[in-house]
Amino acid sequence: MSKYSVINTHVHNVDGIAKVTGRATYTFDVKLPGMLYGKILRSPHPHAKIVNIDSSKALELPGVIGVVTGKDTLGIKQGIWRRYQDLCDEQILPVDKVRYIGEPVAAVAALSEEIAEQAIDLIEVQYEVLPAVYEPMEAIKKEAPEIHQGFERNINVTRHIEWGDVEEAFEEADYIREDWFKCGGQAHMCMETRAAVSSYTPDGKLTVYHSTQAPYYMQGLLAGVLGLKEGNIRVISHYVGGGFGGKFELDGAIFCSAVLSMKLFRPVKIVFTREEDFIATKRRTPMFYYVRTGVKKDGTFCAREAKVFTNGGAYTGMGATALYLTGFFHSFPYRWKGYRYDGYRVYTNTLPSSAMRGFGAPQAMFCSEQQIEWIAADLGLDSLEMRRKNAHYTGYEVPDQATVGSCGINQCFDTVKDWTKKKGKLPGNRAIGFSAAGFMSGGIFNWFDAPYAFSSAVVTINNDGTVELHVGAQDIGQGSNTTLAIICAETLGVKVEDIKVHSGDTDHCPADLGAWGSRQTLMAGNAVKMAAEDAKRQLLEFAYAQSGSNIVYDLDIKNRWVHAIARPERGYDYAELVKKATRGKDGQRIVGRGYYTPHRKGMISPAYSYMLQAVEVEVDKETGRIKLVDSLTAHDCGQPINHLGLIGQLEGAFSMAAGYGYLEYMPYEDGKLMNPNLVDYKVIRATEMPEVPVAEIETYEPEGPYGAKEAGEGLTNPTAAAIGNAIFHAFGVQMKECPIRPEMVVNALKEKEAMGEKGG
Amino acid sequence: MEKRLLKLKVNGQEYELYITPKTLLVEVIRDHIGLTGTKRGCETVSCGACTVMIDDMAVKSCSILAVQAEGRHITTVEGLERNGRLAPIQKAFLDHGSYQCGFCTPGMLISCEALLKENPTPTKEEIREGIEGNICRCTGYNSIVRAVEAVAKGDYREEGT
Amino acid sequence: MIHDFTYLKPGTLQEALSMLSDHKDECKIICGGQSLLIVMRQGLLVTDYLIDIKGLKELSYITYDEKEGFKIGATTTHRMIETSGLIKQRFPVLIAVEKRLASIQVRNWGTVGGNLAHGDSSGDLAPTLIALGARIKLASSKGSRVVPLEEFYTGLFETALGKDELVVEVQVPPARPGRATAYEKFNLIRNDQAIVGVAAAVTLEKGGACKEARVVLSNAGVTPIRAKSAEMVLIGKKLADALLLKAGEAAAGDADPVSDIHASEEYRRHLIKVLTKRIVRQAWEQATHL
């Protein structure tokens, strides 16, 4: 019997009724009285000085209420890495120059979308076109144009991670291999494009409806860039149509609508078209990876050295974090005697790259897990056993970096081996590829310089026993409202139906860093657990007073039943206790408070999830077409909390990770995205998805609420590598670029044949 | 542009609207009638978020002029429930967690409903083909397929039917 | 945003043709609108008059006659074709093509006339119908004419439609003894547009040699392309691997494909080689079992 009443049971998503009946209102749906519609004029040039903007013709168009440009702003360079002023480099509505095709240059507010669109075409901008550069290896050359002042060779950020004596470790190696890889970008492609409705009123208060992952970050960033007090800004984000890492920074929709509203004192709504979403919202970071790995002939890992150049695009965004995490997770989940990573994020005149689900780890694993497979093949070793031999374990200390609290990777190997064995011999054009991975459960490094606890929660118990749970954690579809309601219900001893979750409103909810970096289950979960324990303790004070039992007897509440733990059959209804407690507190509701900030857990993450994935792939040898046939993922997320939510997150992560592996090609030509639409940008559909069974490996993470850690982002990491490894096992070709497109497979096979013929 | 009178039947209710002929069906549904369950997610008839039923056929309302829907029976996600009682497919979605952010869900529900109306016992393959025109970025589709299978199996048959 | 237009809704075909005649230089026809509205929304297509023929039920039909073959009205939806028992019996290839065209939603509303008139060289229906020897009937207020479908396409999104003409019917000659037709397209997602596509109709003699062949390529040029060299390779021969390889190479030679983000010209030719080989074999084997 499960020791939990609610945790890991089959619970309906608490937002279910709203979502399946069409009642859920997204920012996309918001309509306010007197609302205007905004549209953004975008730069056609990748790099140019803004000489002059003439909006007079646009202002003459009937129905146009106002136009703003960078001159209507405070010109503040903002960025989400607030702690480092030099990385705050983006004005959003630039004053002096544009740095990528699609960058906002002006914004119009009008009575209708149609009029706003017409007005955009009437704004005349004089540019002085500057030379532009699009690739990091070009941008670091001495003669490359300078994109931001003060950044020599356009190097935006560098990161260095090192432990052990790397040269000595290489000396110990019997076999060394080096490879170059190219990892593509990827678009978040949230079903709800970027959207914001801003309303500034004469009392100096700004209310913003925003499709965002982090209302508190929006509040803080807007305050900084608009010259307002945080407390005079309200950000509302009840239902969000997907985020995936793309919606926790200021975007053109929220910024331009706010600037317009502050000028016009009317609500202004800006919704990006799908095309705008593709060309003007930050993307996954494209990376060039050089990896050199040394192992002993028995497969023991000795040394690894990685040099990475990332295409940062025009602004920093969250790129500094991606640069770090890619280098850190490139070592996962293995022990290295010597490890060195040097990352260089380079400015270019392309769409800025930032954070996307996996945060640099999918790229890291694409390179690491494939090279490991090739090394095993070179040495004639079983690649799974080689991985197992070098894997992390509970308590392992990544030297100078992190301590692994709980680690279930070892149990993953046997599960995957059994599954593979049962498959037996596969037909010639099918093969299975493996990839291991690990990921963080929230980051510790407070680059936002948030003064508040990373997560907070307030539990308020009404007289009838229903519970108001206020959290700052944001539900963007990953189910955090439900997960936190489950934790609250389990801790307090009630049912999920008793909990009403309040989130997505900075006026009423405590601050929280938001939904990114896989942090909410662990961090907000801990805050909720603490708040619920606080509330329960206050309730039980009254129960103890009433029971007058011997001091050795403890009381508890479970399934709405107040009872002595030693004598669970004797008790009474929780609702009765609530009434007594409320009266006892002079009519005040019981309020419990909780919060969580990781302390003394290193500088990366308080906990790590682990996984091992096997993907069965069928490749048409003649056309190179890739078909996903089957898969199995062995996964350690500690204690699962939200059963339905977990399965959904894991299956969904697979679909996005597979897209990165073989579908979501994002080609640029001279700084212009060539496929900014859903016809030419390929997103996986129902007919292409295989079954995605997951084998849960049970571990207990001491730092997480009830032993839980992240799920849903880590699983975006292994699939591209697994697909590549499957192709390697099917045909012996090494795919060093992702997404792996059929033409690349055909070319690789042709090359292999040609070399074979030469070798003779 | 000259406006004209349009009579539209949506979810069993007659509406009289005054619109320009270039108004898209999705615009009439969302902006004129005010049923915001149906969404939009692209400009190229690709994503399916705008899917509604016209006479029990799933169609993408972003690429249909509202005037073409005159005299036809339109069903949106709001029309699936009856007096607060959810349709079997909606219940199945709840039980199987077949949605996450929920933005594609209204269109997805309509596609599933239309599929089951035409083919009450679809195979797994037929279900996948039936929702091929709807993009979901969150679920990976498999939980949606499970929900439709459950309805097809009879898990949500009303008592006494 | 869609630019303004004057909306005209004819109640009959005659009315439509007379409207066309009145406004021929400044009007566009809308039927299902599944392709048209995209370009109108982008502002790429501006028209003074929009004539809506979606409601013309008199053009929505599928009839079959042993002598004349199929007559499919222009406003017949893809879905009607896809679910037609009549068509399934005689030309199952058309059902197969429809099942992989766009999505059910698009097929429920989009029409065969609209699809063919749009003139997209990467479409699936046109090459398949050309392989079946289809003809297209065009009508104007002055009368009507029937044109072989392969002569209907004159350039990139250009057709032989006169300014005052309307596509009213597609005619597919009756099934021929000993002939089978197959179509396959290459793409990454099952129902996406063809990166390339190949339709093949193979007619066999009693002895098993190829009497007649039609090989038609999709997205291999500005119009659907009859790969006549490939056809010549096949005629008179018996089925053999080497023959199919040769046919594939010939088809790749007949093609004039572009390089775009989905495929280079070289890769498209390679795919045409492979697909031609496979599809001709498929049609040939089907014909053998007739």
Give the separation between CA C290 and CA C20, rounded to whole angstroms.
Answer: 45
Backbone torsion region of residue A518, taken as left when φ is above 0, otherwise alpha when ψ lies between -120 and 50, otherwise beta: left
Q: Tell me which residue range forms the domain holding B64.
A: 4-79
Handedness of CA A501, A506, A509, A511 (dihedral sign): positive
Q: Are strands A175-183 and A737-738 parallel, antiparallel or unpaired?
A: parallel
Asked if A21 is an interface residue toward chain B (Cβ–Cβ < 8 A), one would say yes
The rounded Cα C198 to chain-centroid distance in angstroms is 12
Tell me the pLDDT tens digit for each residue of C51-60.
999 999 999 9
| Three-state SS letters, A529-566 | HHHHHHHHHHHHHHHHHHHCCCCCCCEEEECCEEEECC
Residues in chain B with CB shorter than 8 Å from the CB of A240 are 101
Identify whether B160 is part of a domain.
Answer: no
Nearest alpha carbon to residue C189 among A96, A592, B141? B141
Q: Which residues of chain A have pLDDT under 70?
A: 1, 758-760
Q: Is residue C170 a contact partner of residue C133, using CB atoms and an 8 Å limit?
A: no
Kindly list the strands in the beta sheet with C27-30, ordered across the sheet, starting from the edge strand earlier in the chain.
Answer: C6-8, C49-52, C27-30
DSSP A86: G
Kindly report the nearest CA distance between residue B11 and chain C, in angstroms: 19
Contact: C105, B111; criterion CB under 8 Å = yes
B96 and B66 in one domain?
no
Q: How confident is the model at residue B160 (pLDDT cuts 50, 70, 90)?
A: very low
CA distance C228 to A545: 96
A158 lies within 8 A of chain C by CB: no
The CA-based dihedral angle spanning residues A556, A560, A561, A566, taken in that order and rounded to the nearest 10 degrees: -30
Instruction: Give which of A477, A521, A482, A522 is closest to A500, Cα–Cα.
Output: A482
What is the reported pLDDT for B161?
A: 45
φ/ψ (deg, to 5) at A441: -110, 70
What residues of chain B, 102 to 121, have a C-beta less than 8 Å from chain A? Answer: 102-106, 109
Residues B96 and B54 in one domain: no
Check if the beta carbon of residue C251 is closer than 8 Å to that of residue C243.
no
How many CB pairs below 8 Å do chains A and C form together?
40
Instruction: Please state the φ and ψ torsions of residue A372, each to the nearest 5 degrees.
Output: -60, -40
Token pair recorded at residue A488: 């609250």
Please, are residues C217 and C196 in contact by the beta-carbon 8 Å criterion?
yes
Last residue of a domain, one of B79, B100, B130: B79
pLDDT on residue A390: 98
Residue C102 to residue B43, Cβ atoms within 8 A:
no
Q: Which amino acid is at A183?
A: C
Contact yes or no for C102/C34 (Cβ under 8 A): yes
| C238/C255 Cα distance (integer angstroms) | 24
Instruction: Answer yes or no: pTM beyond 0.90.
Output: yes
Interface test with A, best of C189, C196, C198 (most A CBs within 10 A): C189
- Amino acid A305 reads E
Which three-class secondary structure state does DSSP give residue C21? helix
Interchain proximity A18–B102, CB inside 8 Å = yes
| CB of A105 closer than 8 Å to CB of A41 | yes
pLDDT interval class at C191 (50, 70, 90): very high
Given a contact cutoff of 8 angstroms between Cβ atoms, the answer to whether A87 and A79 are in contact is yes
Q: Strand A626-636 vs strand A694-696: parallel, antiparallel, or unpaired?
A: parallel
Per DSSP, helices labelled H in A589-697 are: 643-662
- CB hemisphere CA count around A271 (13 angstroms): 23
User: Are the beta carbons of A34 and A267 closer than 8 angstroms?
Assistant: yes
The DSSP call for residue C223 is: S
Burial A475-498, CB ≥16 within 10 A → b, else e:
bbbbbbbbbbbbbbbbbbbbbbeb
Find the DSSP H helices in C25-181: 36-41, 78-82, 85-90, 92-99, 104-109, 112-118, 125-131, 149-152
Shortest distance, CA A623 to any CA of chain C (angstroms): 6
Q: Dihedral sign, CA of A43, A45, A51, A56? A: negative
Are domains A16-23+454-596 and A287-444+602-759 of this chain identical in fold? yes
Q: Are residues B52 and B15 in the same domain?
A: yes
CATH number assigned to the domain covering A16-23+454-596: 3.30.365.10
Same domain, B74 and B92: no
Chain B residues 40-79 within an 8 A CB cutoff of chain A: 40-44, 46-47, 49, 76-78
Q: Are B58 and C104 in contact (CB under 8 A)?
A: yes
| Exposed / middle / buried, residue B147 (Cβ in 10 Å: 0-12, 13-18, 19+) | buried
Percent with pLDDT over 90 in chain B: 96
Written as one letter, the residue type at A691 is E
Residue with tokens 């005010």: B34
Read off the CATH number of the domain in which B45 is found.
3.10.20.30
pLDDT at position C1 is 87
CATH 3.40.720.10 assigned to domain C6-52? The reply is no
Please give the pLDDT value at position A759: 52
CB contact under 8 A, C109 and B43: no
B128 and B72 in a common domain: no
Q: Which of B53, B79, B105 is the C-terminal boundary of a domain?
A: B79
Go through chain B and tell me how many residues it has.
161
Q: Is the pLDDT of residue B159 over 70?
A: no
Q: Where are the alpha helices (DSSP H) in A26-74?
A: 56-60
Picking from A117, A663, A746, the nearest residue to C188 by CB comes out as A663
Q: Options 3.30.365.10, 3.40.50.2300, 3.40.720.10, 1.10.10.10; which CATH number does A287-444+602-759 get?
A: 3.30.365.10
CATH number given to C179-288: 3.30.390.50
Q: What CATH number labels C57-172?
A: 3.30.465.10
Backbone conformation region of residue B140, classed left if phi is above 0, alpha if psi is from -120 to 50, else beta: left
Q: Which amino acid, A74? A: L
Q: Which two tokens stand for residue C93?
A: 């290839």
Rounded to the nearest angstrom, the minimum Cα separation between A246 and chain C is 25
Residue A548: what pLDDT?
84
What are φ and ψ of residue B129, in 5° steps? -70, -30
Between CA C197 and CA C183 the distance in angstroms is 7
C 186-225 near B (Cβ less than 8 A): 190-191
Chain A residues with CB-CB distance to C275 below 8 A:
623
Counted across chains B and C, CB pairs separated by less than 8 A come out at: 81
Interface residue of A20, A209, A654 to substitute, partner B, most B CBs within 10 Å: A20
Chains that touch C (3 or more CB pairs under 8 A): A, B
Among A732, A738, A739, A723, smallest CA distance to A753 is for: A732
Query: CA nearest B24: which of B51, B60, B76, B62?
Result: B62
Give CA–CA dist A50/A497, Å, rounded.
56
pLDDT value for C72: 98
Spell out which residues of chain B touch residue A15, defining contact as CB-CB under 8 Å: 102
Alpha helices in A559-690 (DSSP H): 574-584, 643-662
- Class of A31-130+191-242+247-280 in CATH: alpha beta
| pLDDT score at A760 | 43
Chain B: partners with 3+ C-beta pairs within 8 Å: A, C
Of C99, C108, C191, the CB nearest to B59: C108
Tell me the chain C residues in contact with residue B47 when contact means C-beta distances shorter than 8 Å: none
Residue C20 has pLDDT above 90, yes or no: yes
The pLDDT, as a whole number, for residue A758 is 65
Note whether C42 contacts B60, CB cutoff 8 Å: no
For residue B26, being part of any structural domain is answered with: yes
Q: Do B43 and C108 touch (CB under 8 A)?
A: no
Note whether C104 contacts B48, CB cutoff 8 Å: no
Element (H, E) at A40: strand A36-42
Collect all residues of chain A within an 8 Å Cβ-Cβ radius of residue C265. none
Same domain, B97 and B115: yes
In a domain, residue B128? The reply is: yes
Q: Within 10 Å of residue A461's Cβ, how many Cβ atoms?
A: 27
Under DSSP, is residue A436 helix (H, G, I), strand (E, B) or coil? strand
Give me the residue spans of the domains in chain C: 6-52, 57-172, 179-288
Distance of CA A651 to the CA centre of its chain: 16
Residue B159 lies in a domain: no
Neighboring chain C residues of B132 at a CB cutoff of 8 Å: 103-104, 190-191
pLDDT for res A1 = 56
Q: Work out how many domains chain B is built from and give that number.
A: 2
Nearest to A651 among B105, B129, B139 (CB): B139
The structural domains of chain A, with segments of one domain joined by +, span 16-23+454-596, 31-130+191-242+247-280, 287-444+602-759
Judgement on whether residues B8 and B72 belong to the same structural domain of the protein: yes
